[in-house]
Amino acid sequence: MITLSNVSKIFKSGLKAKDSIVAVDDISLTIDEGEIFGVIGYSGAGKSTLIRMLNGLETPSSGSVVVAGKEVSKIKGSSLRKARHEISMIFQHFNLLWSRTVRENIAFPLEITGLPKEERRQRVNELIKLVGLEGREDAYPSQLSGGQKQRVGIARALANNPKVLLCDEATSALDPQTTDSILELLVDINKRLGLTIVLITHEMHVIRKICNRVAVMEAGKVVEIGPVLNVFKNPEQPITKRFVQQVTEPEETKETVEHLLDRFPDGEVIQLTFVGESAENPLITQLIRNFKLDVNIVQGKISQTRDGSYGTLFIHIDGPAEEIDHALEFIKQQQVGVEVISND
């Protein structure tokens, strides 16, 4: 559905080469039809520039961008405006028209495409239902909550039946609960309409919750890319590890671990990392049944991704040294990551 080939974007702020900023640096990737694809990176990594090249809001300095069979990086004027009906976008700050009601905001793109009045009315009603805004049709944006405003943004973006929806930090201005409800809506419309969704974010929580694949961006480059669960299982780059920790390691983990080592001078404190199927195995029960050990669960967190679960669990085991060694061997055979945490 989307193919980027050697795409770069250089912003020139002066006459000299050193005044140039390479916002996107030689990116090639493909995004499949019906996929929810996430791009994560810190501020300044080049995410916005990348996503804006997908709908022609920015033109690449080199390389090509093909979306739904059209080379967006080449077309201009009315052809570009037409192509944009197939590639819609929602924004962090919603970009609504403040003097128009919900209904009128959603009707706006339909007015531009010249849909007759009665069909417009019907389509707006459908969209209001789709995003769950029944009863708020005549409200003005200032009378809506953040989540409702984003629902209007989504309805407006879907008005002309796009093939691709681009989401530019679409939940960054929302509280965690509202974020979850908007993410659920995006998954729902992805499934119902077969829509391809590309989102950019700095929050791994968003990626974990709804994306099939993720690309990690740093200094204009994609430094890591893959299915979300694989990236969680085996993050290769330091930046990816930091993002994964955002959702798997509770903030207090480091403190707790240090504290644990003081609390349990005997035996071993072990960090277990579960991925996918293995997270479901009743490992702890098996440890207690099969080995003459005392086993305590000390801390843990298991997160769900679209393709399975991922998480870490800290346990303390105590007993004869030989039995502990056998238990560690056993855990390794269960395809669970094992790390013995020690004082040195």
Ligand X SMILES: Nc1ncnc2c1ncn2[C@@H]1O[C@H](COP(=O)(O)OP(=O)(O)OP(=O)(O)O)[C@@H](O)[C@H]1O
- Contact footprint for ligand X (CB under 6 A): 11, 13, 21, 23, 41, 43-49
CB 54, min distance to ligand X, A:
12
User: CA–CA separation, 309 vs 317, rounded Å?
Assistant: 24
CB 205, min distance to ligand X, A:
16
CB 5, min distance to ligand X, A:
19
CB 46, min distance to ligand X, A:
4
Cβ partners under 8 Å of residue 133, min gap 6: 102, 148, 151, 152, 155
Specify the residue, 38 or 41, whose C-beta has the smaller distance to ligand X: 41
Closest CA to 237 of 62, 45, 31, 32: 45
Nearest 5 degrees, angle CA 285-CA 286-CA 291?
110
Specify the residue, 44 or 226, whose C-beta has the smaller distance to ligand X: 44
Specify the residue, 161 or 237, whose C-beta has the smaller distance to ligand X: 237
CB 52, min distance to ligand X, A:
8
**Please, what's the largest Cα pairwise distance for the chain?**
80
Specify the residue, 49 or 305, whose C-beta has the smaller distance to ligand X: 49
Contact between residue 185 and residue 151 where contact means Cβ atoms under 8 Å apart: yes
CB 199, min distance to ligand X, A:
12
End-to-end, the C-alpha distance of the chain in Å comes to 51
Q: Which structure tokens are listed for 252? A: 């207090």
CB 288, min distance to ligand X, A:
47
Residue 72 burial class via C-beta count within 10 angstroms: exposed 0-12, middle 13-18, buried 19 and up: buried
Q: Please state the φ and ψ torsions of residue 181, each to the nearest 5 degrees.
A: -70, -35
Specify the residue, 35 or 168, whose C-beta has the smaller distance to ligand X: 168
Specify the residue, 23 or 313, whose C-beta has the smaller distance to ligand X: 23
Rg (CA), the chain: 24
Specify the residue, 13 or 78, whose C-beta has the smaller distance to ligand X: 13
Closest CA to 246 of 219, 226, 222, 216: 216
Closest CA to 229 of 249, 204, 195, 254: 204
